[in-house]
A and B are shown apart, each in its own frame.
Chain A
Amino acid sequence: DQQVKQNSPSLSVQEGRISILNCDYTNSMFDYFLWYKKYPAEGPTFLISISSIKDKNEDGRFTVFLNKSAKHLSLHIVPSQPGDSAVYFCAASANNQGGKLIFGQGTELSVKP
């Protein structure tokens, strides 16, 4: 069963505009959520995280929103830059799982100049 889902395999955005990447989860025990960015032939790079006690966390151009009732989180990138083009993964963990992350399938973001 896919506990973390990213339903959009790809997203194309114009430079300077907002990119919104979405993620849904099914396990109500998840209490920590993260976004990673991955370039080809590299490992995932941590971007931003949010604890379930918050509904928003912001770091520069990146903001993560968490809607616990809908079991949905999103990553906003504004303004988008061509260097943001990569595959973005959301991930989640539960406090009793020893830090193990469950990943979504990824969304490939393409930011066009």
Chain B
Amino acid sequence: GEEVAQTPKHLVRGEGQKAKLYCAPIKGHSYVFWYQQVLKNEFKFLISFQNENVFDETGMPKERFSAKCLPNSPCSLEIQATKLEDSAVYFCASSRRQANSPLHFGNGTRLTVT
């Protein structure tokens, strides 16, 4: 499609439960990025993909967070055993090229951990 599609829009999980977020990048875009917005105006980079391959995972909390981008499927970000501090808006973005190319963002998934 012409837009990055993120589902669900809202997700509520009890502490310790699993959360799974989905992202369909723009058709033809080979690069996918996940960001976490905890405070209102701070974007934290989590992970990026080139097609189905992890390119950069330096921002991922390795113990509980994982992500995949498999062929012919939406990309996913999974959080095992959620904690209160995982409450945030998670944005997915895609781009056509690796360098000097704007990222196009979805509208985010708001995760609330209670």
Given the known interface contacts A42-B107, A43-B107, the answer about A105 and B33 at a Cβ–Cβ threshold of 8 Å is: no
B22 within 8 A of A: no
Please tell me the size bucket of the interface on B: 20 to 34
- Please tell me which one of the listed residues A34, A51, A99, A106 contacts residue B33 in the complex, with CB atoms under 8 A apart: A99
* In the complex, B73 has a CB within 8 A of chain A: no
Interface string of A24-66 (1 = CB under 8 A from B): 0000000110101000011111100101000000000000000
Decide: B98 and A99 in contact? CB cutoff 8 A: yes
Which residues of chain A (68-113) have a CB below 8 Å from chain B?
A: 87, 89, 93, 95, 97-103, 105-106
Chain A: how many interface residues by the 8 Å CB criterion?
26
Q: Is the CB of A101 within 8 A of B100?
A: no
Cβ–Cβ < 8 Å partners of B31 in chain A: 98-99
Q: Is B104 an interface residue (CB 8 A)?
A: yes
**B residues near A, CB below 8 A?**
4, 31, 33, 40-43, 45, 48, 50, 55-56, 91, 93, 95, 97-108
14 new A-B pairs (CB below 8 Å) besides A31-B100, A89-B41, A99-B97? A34-B102, A36-B105, A43-B105, A43-B108, A44-B105, A89-B43, A93-B99, A93-B100, A98-B99, A99-B48, A99-B98, A99-B99, A102-B45, A105-B41
